[in-house]
Structure 1
């Protein structure tokens, strides 16, 4: 089966380019934008050899996993572009619910609120998708300024379909490990469909409040103990919510609320450890 767009995505003007093997779908998308390529194009592959995650970390992608990047050009005001990661997380969650209904997911994130228990795939701020508390997918946004003073953003999504990394400091899983027979092509088809509806709701950032509400419904760890690493220091407290700009809101032991724009979040037993 080849990679293909859902009919809704094709009708909305999206395109797809697939690769047997690629270094990085994000890098390919940004390179295309700098060369004058149009936006609303998906770059997809089942084999990515030099993918990367947040803060320059390597993203290990086994052959058969899904690497997908959506290139958008001048889609919104530049400060709003960062919220596209939340759009991507919601779309990925919807795609997984549609394509992996038989996946074996027994428990949620350690220390989490029960409000998201009905959601089999949860979202971990700011950019991970979890199944049973283990990382299933990651999202990476990268942008570049173009010569005409416009900008392009690459929304990269990596999903552990057939295998997952094991030498990582956090639990990880794959659809295969969860008992799902879904393949990368089927998952991408559903993702391209879910993206259309979710991006329309976002509406260039004007619908961010609705995106925030949906994201909170899938939020992992809400109301639970949390530790956030910020520039090498650890801040502890309770995951209270995300604010109107989708910043992480932590309530410390004195009841004060701290708004966090960037950091590494850990829940439950990991958050209780002396050091992370």
Structure 2
């Protein structure tokens, strides 16, 4: 029999759906959202067996790392759904920073420490008949005790970065509290406040980067993100507004 799952302190109005083992917390949260689960429901599992990242990429999620997915019902036009990627990213960075490390945000949805990937974010959303957001599932995976050894990118975990006191339960609690605060800020002040906070931790801002698109790779200076969250890249041929792509800089 698996050990009992510990209790987690969440902000008022939030609730935890704790599991021992699932295929994907995003899949579980999506099913709950379709069934009408309330805003602020977090699905957390000790272990995921079929975790995934952007574009269907595999994501390593062994026990000892954080895997959770939050159901959000923000009551906004569907065109603004992408803003929540940045809200979640800033909140996750707040939580990680509380352990005494310095996370950076890589556009659009990764956290890094010293250039190494620490965490990833995957948002999935449903549109209502009136073109508003029905629900958003914000999945997060944070390397706490383990990180993968992969050829295509460098990774790290909180313990390896020096945050030896970080545990899954405390990271989850601090992330939920930060997400609650950042959502309240976003509702009150709009995306500009979130955008400013995100840019304050952005990696590669003002530097030359490469952005791999579906059909080409562009190279230029990462100038900023615009009010919709698109990356603005200045190349020799002008400025490009990029809404989806893979960013490369620094080490190969």
TM-score, with structure 1 as normaliser: 0.84
Contact 2:208 2:221 in 1 (8 A): yes
2-side partners of 1:227 and 1:148: how far apart? 38
Structure 2 residue 195 is the aligned partner of structure 1 residue 191? no
Counterpart of 1:169 (choices 152, 167, 181) is 152
**2:119 aligned partner:** 137
**2:46 aligned partner:** 46
2-side partners of 1:203 and 1:212: how far apart? 13
Distance 1:32 1:258, change over 3 A: same
Structure 2 residue 164 is the aligned partner of structure 1 residue 160? no
**1:237 aligned partner:** 220
Larger proportion of strand: 2
Counterpart of 1:202 (choices 186, 195, 200) is 186
Note the residue ranges of structure 1 that are not aligned, 5 or more in a row: 104-119, 271-276
Distance 1:75 1:64, change over 3 A: farther
Moved over 6 A (4+): 146-150
Structure 2 residue 243 is the aligned partner of structure 1 residue 265? no
RMSD: 1.9
**2:9 aligned partner:** 5
**2:34 aligned partner:** 34
Contact 1:5 1:193 in 2 (8 A): no
How far did residue 30 of structure 1 move?
0.7
How far did residue 168 of structure 1 move?
4.2
Contact 1:201 1:207 in 2 (8 A): yes
2-side partners of 1:197 and 1:167: how far apart? 34
Structure number with higher relative contact order (C-alpha < 8 Å, ≥ 6 residues apart):
1
Note the residue ranges of structure 2 that are not aligned, 5 or more in a row: none
Alignment map for 1:13-28 (pairs within 5 Å): 13-28=13-28
How far did residue 25 of structure 1 move?
0.8
TM-score, with structure 2 as normaliser: 0.92
2-side partners of 1:153 and 1:195: how far apart? 14
1-side partners of 2:251 and 2:149: how far apart? 19
How far did residue 74 of structure 1 move?
5.2
1-side partners of 2:151 and 2:183: how far apart? 32
Distance 1:225 1:148, change over 3 A: closer
**1:220 aligned partner:** 203
